[in-house]
């Protein structure tokens, strides 16, 4: 039997490779497989789904579209819960989040902030940048939403920013150190959960507020549903101010002692002195209607 020639040829090539630096065909250990990453799914020429998972509560999606990243519930075309710029992470593109920061100006001082409803973490992240010395507690019912906020929207828990997985309606009934600013922004694909918009809930929220503190409520409802929630809020906090977003999709309510448009402008001017915000807070303050009749 004649021995085949090619094993010797491979050996010869390997020896030549050692001499002249050509890689040989000798076996080398394989690199460990890369961790499995959820593939992006393109739903149109402009939109790409980065995350799509059904949690215990609802379907949670992250969608990249036309230079922005969105958190949406229910489906790819659901309402925008959070929106960030892919080209400028420091930007705050959602009007209602910019308006909510007026609560920081209303409070006499800001050392503790509570956000009920985390979403992509846009408001807690904004507070950490604007008032780095303040402690922020973000309360979120859905752990998948909290995971997405950290993995896709830049929310970074630290000693001053706490993510708390708990039902907001139960959290406000607990024994907590009072907060200077409380932002209420808890939504599902179907709107505000009923137990987060009752007189009882708002009463618990008022109990957690420091004297002179501010409560901000984002309302993204229509017609009678909006009027009902606004009425319950006013029943607890009295005359409140409000600003409607430019796209008419949100009504932001403000509760703070002695709130008037002039006072809010003055507080916004004082708050922004020495602070850098990516928008004009004073212009937003001038949009206030108080008392809120819209």
Task: Check pLDDT > 50 for residue 9.
Answer: no
In a domain, residue 10? The reply is no
Identify the weakest region by mean pLDDT among 34-43, 128-137, 264-273: 34-43
**154-182, pLDDT tens digit by residue?**
999 999 999 999 999 999 999 999 999 99
Name the burial class of residue 59, with classes exposed (0-12), middle (13-18) and buried (19+) by CB atoms within 10 angstroms of its CB.
middle
60 neighbors 53 (Cβ within 8 angstroms): yes
Rounded to a whole number of angstroms, the CA Rg of the chain reads 26
Same domain, residue pair 80 and 119? no
Instruction: Please indicate whether residue 13 or residue 273 has the higher confidence score (pLDDT).
Output: 273
Percent of the chain with pLDDT over 70: 84
Same domain, residue pair 128 and 257? yes
Task: Check pLDDT > 80 for residue 100.
Answer: yes
Same domain, residue pair 120 and 245? yes
Name the burial class of residue 8, with classes exposed (0-12), middle (13-18) and buried (19+) by CB atoms within 10 angstroms of its CB.
exposed
Mean pLDDT of the chain: 88
Full domain range(s) for residue 127: 95-285
In a domain, residue 25? The reply is no
Same domain, residue pair 266 and 191? yes
Task: Check pLDDT > 80 for residue 41.
Answer: no
25-52 mean pLDDT: 58
Same domain, residue pair 185 and 262? yes
Same domain, residue pair 70 and 213? no
Same domain, residue pair 51 and 145? no
213 neighbors 107 (Cβ within 8 angstroms): yes
In a domain, residue 13? The reply is no
**49-78, pLDDT tens digit by residue?**
999 999 999 999 999 999 999 999 999 999
Same domain, residue pair 99 and 63? no
Task: Check pLDDT > 80 for residue 125.
Answer: yes
85, 116, 150 - which closes a domain: 85
Read off the CATH number of the domain in which 279 is found: 3.40.50.150
Identify the weakest region by mean pLDDT among 45-49, 113-117, 215-219: 45-49
The CA–CA distances, whole Å, from 202 to 120, 198, 239 equal 23, 6, 14
Q: CA-CA-CA-CA torsion for 219, 222, 227, 233, nearest 10 degrees?
A: -10
Task: Check pLDDT > 60 for residue 38.
Answer: no
For residue 161, the 8-state DSSP code is E
Same domain, residue pair 48 and 194? no
In a domain, residue 7? The reply is no
Q: What is the pTM of this model?
A: 0.85
In a domain, residue 178? The reply is yes
Same domain, residue pair 130 and 260? yes
In a domain, residue 22? The reply is no
In a domain, residue 36? The reply is no
Instruction: Please indicate whether residue 112 or residue 30 has the higher confidence score (pLDDT).
Output: 112
Same domain, residue pair 190 and 104? yes
Alpha-carbon torsion (269, 104, 288, 118), positive or negative:
positive
In a domain, residue 19? The reply is no
26, 51, 85 - which closes a domain: 85
Give the end-to-end CA distance of the chain in Å, rounded to a whole number: 98
131-152 mean pLDDT: 98
Same domain, residue pair 132 and 75? no
Question: Nearest 5°: CA angle at 49, between 47 and 51?
Answer: 155
Give the total number of structural domains in the chain.
2
Task: Check pLDDT > 90 for residue 33.
Answer: no
């Amino acid at each position: 039997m004649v021995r085949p020639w090619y094993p010797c040829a491979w050996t010869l090539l390997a020896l030549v490779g050692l001499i002249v630096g050509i890689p040989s065909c000798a076996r080398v250990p394989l690199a460990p497989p890369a961790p499995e990453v959820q593939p992006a799914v393109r739903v149109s020429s402009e939109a790409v789904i980065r995350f799509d998972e059904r949690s215990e509560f609802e379907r949670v999606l992250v969608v990249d579209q036309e230079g922005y990243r969105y958190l949406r519930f229910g489906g790819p075309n659901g309402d925008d819960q959070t929106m960030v710029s892919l080209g400028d992470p420091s930007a705050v593109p959602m009007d209602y989040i910019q308006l909510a920061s007026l609560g920081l100006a209303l409070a006499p001082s800001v050392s503790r902030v509570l956000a009920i409803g985390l979403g992509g973490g846009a408001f807690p992240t904004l507070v950490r940048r604007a008032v780095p010395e303040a402690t922020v507690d973000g309360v979120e019912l859905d752990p998948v939403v909290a995971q997405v906020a950290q993995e896709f929207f830049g929310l970074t828990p630290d000693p001053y920013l706490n993510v708390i997985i708990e039902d907001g309606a139960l959290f406000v009934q607990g024994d907590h150190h009072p907060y200077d600013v409380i932002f209420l922004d808890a939504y599902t694909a179907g709107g505000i959960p009923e137990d987060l918009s009752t007189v009882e809930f708002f009463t618990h929220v008022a109990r957690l507020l420091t004297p002179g503190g501010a409560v901000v409520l984002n309302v993204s409802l229509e017609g009678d549903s909006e009027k009902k929630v606004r009425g319950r809020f006013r029943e607890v906090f009295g005359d409140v101010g409000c600003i409607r977003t430019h796209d008419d999709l949100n009504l932001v309510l403000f509760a703070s002692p002695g709130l008037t448009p002039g006072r809010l402008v003055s507080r916004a001017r004082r708050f922004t002195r020495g602070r850098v915000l990516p928008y004009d807070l004073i212009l937003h303050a001038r949009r206030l209607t108080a008392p809120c009749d819209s």
